[in-house]
Amino acid sequence: MPEQQTTTQDRGLQELTNGERLVRAILDHRVVEFIYQGYRRTVEPYLLGLHEAGEPILLGYQTAGGSHRGEVPGWRAFITTGIGEVEMSDRSFAGPRSEFNPYGHSMLEIFARA
């Protein structure tokens, strides 16, 4: 049986932490899927930063999956310590949607922005 080849880029993505994958996805404008509060979600990640409350926060536009609020699609703020199983998809997004407000959340520091 032939050995399956893995590219350097694929191998590199597998070794990244969830936070590093989110940063890469934001910079590359790639859609992500992850688990948050028990729901699998599909999200266009726009901004990752440190909220004034001291929590690292991801701001993104959820396009599919479940939500406690039940309103999908829509803008969401995710506490990154609660995000699990981050997978970068091959799908990309053009950039921030027109209604994106990066100042809607008080950030002390921005780590990555689309």
Show the domain range for 72: 8-91+102-113
DSSP for 50-77 reads EETTS-EEEEEEEEEE--SS---SEEEE
State pLDDT tens for residues 23-71.
Answer: 999 999 999 999 999 999 999 999 999 998 899 999 999 999 998 877 8
CA–CA separation, 38 and 41 (whole Å): 9
CA–CA separation, 19 and 53 (whole Å): 18
DSSP 8-state symbol, 2: P
Mean pLDDT of the chain: 85
CATH number, domain at 53? 2.30.30
In a domain, 80, yes or no: yes
Largest CA distance in the chain: 55
In a domain, 22, yes or no: yes
- Split into its structural domains, the chain has a count of 1
CA–CA separation, 52 and 55 (whole Å): 7
In a domain, 1, yes or no: no
In a domain, 3, yes or no: no
In a domain, 2, yes or no: no
